[in-house]
Amino acid sequence: MPELPEVETMVRGIRPVVEGASLAGFRRVRCSCRPILVSPSVGVIARRAAGRTLSRVWRRAKRVILELDSGDAFVIEPRMTGLMLVSDPPDAGHLRVEWQLTRGAEERSLWFWDRRGLGTVRFFRRAELQALVEGGALGRDALEMDAEDWLTALKSTHRPVKVALLDQRLAAGIGNLYASEILHRAGIRPQTPAARLSLARIGRLQLAVQSVLSEAIRYEGSTLSDGTYRNALNQSGGYQNAHRVYDRAGEGCLTCGAPIVRLVQAQRSTFYCPRCQR
C-alpha cells in the first residue's frame, strides 16, 4: 500500500541511519522467492556505488531516493508490499536487497523487504535521475499542489474524479486508500467527472488532500488488516484508526450514520458515503 504518507514515513525513519553513512556493500539477499527487479545488475551498481557517501534521502511521489555524493542515486519503488527497514524485518523470507553502511567504526544495514515482490530497486546516473524526477511521467507532488494546480489537472480529464486522483501524471503520491478518504473529507462523490467539478469543490478537494495526507504522515501511515505496512523500525502505523470510509462497506458513516458503499472503479475498490458525498 505504500502511498505518499507511508513512503514519507519510510524516508523519515531511515534518514538518521542512512544520511552521511558510507556504502560498504550492496547485495541481493538470497531467498526462496523469485528475484525482484534490480537494474542495472547488482554487480554494476556495486561497482559504481561502493565507497560513496549517501548524502541525501528523500521522496518523489511514492518513490524513495537514496542519493550519493556523486549525484547518482538508488530509486526504490515499494509498489504494493515493499518496505525500507533499518531493523529486523516482519519475516526473514522476503528480504530482497541489503545496503551495508558504515559510519566510522559503526556498521549498520538498510534493507528492502517485499512480500509480493512487485517492488523495484533501480540505480540512476545523475542525469538520468534528473529526467526521472522532473520528467513528464510524474505530476507535482500532491502535497505541493494549490487549488489552481488542481483546477488545471482535473479540467484535463473526463474520468471519474476518484480515478483521476490515482493518475500519477495529474498529481503524484495519492493511492487507492487515500483517494477514498480525501473525497469523503471533501464531500465529493467519487463518480463525479473530474472536469465537471466546480471551483468551490476543487478548493475543498485541495484542502482535503492537505489535511488527510499530512494527518496520515503525522500518524506514520496506515497499516491495514493484513498488517503489511510497517515503518523503518517494523512498527505499525496509526492512521488506519482514523479511516472514515476505506474498507468500511456496510458500516455506518462516522459523520452521518448512513451505510458506507463500496463500488469498483477502474478495477479498484472505492468506498464512499452516499449521504455526505454529493
- Which residues are near DNA by CB under 7 A? 1-3, 33-34, 61-63, 77, 79-81, 93-94, 115-118, 137, 156-159, 163, 166, 168, 175-177, 223-224, 226, 228-229, 266-269
Assigned C-alpha cell, 106: 559503526
User: Is 2 among the residues known to form the active site?
Assistant: yes
Q: Which is nearer to DNA, 98 or 167 (CB)?
A: 167
| Among 8, 62, 89, 220, the one annotated catalytic | 62
CB of 146 to DNA, least distance (A): 22
Q: Which is nearer to DNA, 147 or 263 (CB)?
A: 263
User: Is 268 among the residues known to form the active site?
Assistant: yes
| Among 3, 6, 77, 181, the one annotated catalytic | 3
Triad 136, 125, 172: Cα angle to 5°: 30
Q: Which is nearer to DNA, 6 or 21 (CB)?
A: 6
Q: Tell me the helices (H) and strands (E) count for the chain, helix number first.
A: 7, 11
User: Is 62 among the residues known to form the active site?
Assistant: yes
Triad 114, 120, 125: Cα angle to 5°: 145
CB of 103 to DNA, least distance (A): 31
CB of 226 to DNA, least distance (A): 4
| Whole-number Å distance between alpha carbons of 119 and 4 | 15
CB of 52 to DNA, least distance (A): 25
Max alpha carbon distance in the chain (Å)? 60
Q: Which is nearer to DNA, 223 or 231 (CB)?
A: 223
| Whole-number Å distance between alpha carbons of 254 and 270 | 17
Residue pair 168/250 in contact (Cβ under 8 Å)? The answer is no
82-85 vs 106-114, strand pairing mode = antiparallel
H or E segment and range at residue 186: helix 176-186
Residues with catalytic roles? 2-3, 62, 268
